[in-house]
Amino acid sequence: MKSVIQIKGVRKSFGKNEVLKGVSLDVKTGEVVVILGPSGSGKTTLLRCVNFLENADDGELTIGELSVRFRYAGKKDILTVRRRTAMVFQNYNLFSNKTAAENVMEGLVTARKVPAAEARERAERELAKVGLGGKRDAYPSQLSGGQQQRVAIARAVALNPEVILFDEPTSALDPELVGEVLAVMRAVAREGITMVVVTHEMSFAHDIANHVVFMDDGLVVEEGAPKEIFFHPKEERTKQFLDRIQLKYDYSI
C-alpha cells in the first residue's frame, strides 16, 4: 500500500533534554495509526514536529512527492506540509473570535482560496456530520468541551487533508463527554481518512487502530498490528505499560 506520510530519524531536544531520539513512522493511505506511550515519552512532540509546530533538529519527512529534511525546510515547504495535514489538539484550540462555521471555513477560505459560499456549504455539511448542524453560529465559549472538540474535528476533516493528527483529543474532556467525540472519530475513520492518533483510551485504540506504535523515552519501542501489541507484546516495557493501564482500567470500572 502507498505511504501517505513517512518520517525518518526525527530528533528533537529541548535544551539538554533529548525528547525524540530518532523516531521513524510510516503511515499508509487510509490507515489509522495509534501511538501509545507513557507521559513524557515524546508523543505530542512527535506530532508537533510533523506539522512544524516544533522545529525538529534532524530527520526527514516525506508527504506525497514532497521530501524535506526538517532542518532545512523553508517557509514554503512548511506551508505546503501544513496545507496537506490537519491537527486536532488536546484543548481544541478553536478560534475564539469565530463561530463554529467560521472556524471550519477559515482554512478553506484564507489558506486555500475556496470561495466563501462553497466553504460555508462544506462547513455546514461537516458540522452536520459531527451532529452540530444547529450550532453553526455558536461561538466556542457557548459550546461544551465535547462540542468544541467535534467542531475541531469538522474543521480538520473539511480541509480534506492527507492525514489528520490527533493529540489526545479526549483527555481534556469530562468523562461523560468522551463518548461523543470518540464516536465522531470512529465515523471519520470509517470514511477512510488517514489518521495518526495519540490516545490513552485503550479499548478505543484497540477498535480503531490498523497499526499501533508504542513509544517510550523518545524512541519507538515496538510497533505492529493491534492484536500483536495488545495481546502479545514482545518488549518488556510495552508489557509493563499495558499492565499499568489495564490496572487503572480495572479500578476505574
Partner 1 sequence: MGKLFDAALVLEYAPPIFLRFHVTLAIVAASVVGGTLLGLLLTAAQLHRTPGLSLAAAGYISFVRGTPVIIQMFIVYYGLPLALYRVGININRWNKLYFVLIAYALNNAAFMAEIIRSAVLSVPKGQSEAAWSVGLSGFQAFRRIVLPQAFLTALPALGTRLVNTFHDTSLAFTLGILDMLGQAQAIGVRTYHVLEGYVFAALVFVAVSLLLEKGFTRAEAAFGRGVKK
Q: How far is the CB of 115 from ligand ATP (least distance, A)?
A: 38
Instruction: Determine the 3-state secondary structure of 146 from DSSP.
Output: helix
Cell numbers 525546510 correspond to what residue? Answer: 73
Instruction: Determine the 3-state secondary structure of 25 from DSSP.
Output: strand
Considering only 25, 27, 31, 37, the residue that binds ligand ATP (CB under 6 A) is: 37
- Does the protein bind ligand ATP through residue 11 (CB under 6 A)? no
Q: How far is the CB of 86 from partner 1 (least distance, A)?
A: 7
- Does the protein bind ligand ATP through residue 199 (CB under 6 A)? no
Considering only 10, 41, 85, 94, the residue that binds ligand ATP (CB under 6 A) is: 41
Please say whether the beta carbons of 73 and 91 come within 8 A.
no
Please say whether the beta carbons of 81 and 68 come within 8 A.
yes
- Classify burial at 4, counting beta carbons within 10 Å of its beta carbon; exposed 0-12, middle 13-18, buried 19 or more: buried
**Site residues for Mg ion, window 34-93 (CB under 5 A)?**
44
- Does the protein bind partner 1 through residue 144 (CB under 8 A)? no
Considering only 51, 147, 148, 238, the residue that binds partner 1 (CB under 8 A) is: 51
Could you give the residue ranges of the DSSP H alpha helices within the chain?
43-50, 75-84, 100-106, 116-129, 145-158, 175-190, 202-208, 226-231, 236-252
Whole-number Å distance between alpha carbons of 34 and 195: 8
**Site residues for partner 1, window 66-125 (CB under 8 A)?**
79, 82-83, 85-87, 89, 91, 93-99, 106-107, 110-112
Binding mask 145-164 for partner 1 (x = CB under 8 A): ----------xx--x-----
Give the interface with partner 1 as residue ranges (CB under 8 A).
51-53, 79, 82-83, 85-87, 89, 91, 93-99, 106-107, 110-112, 138-139, 141-142, 155-156, 159
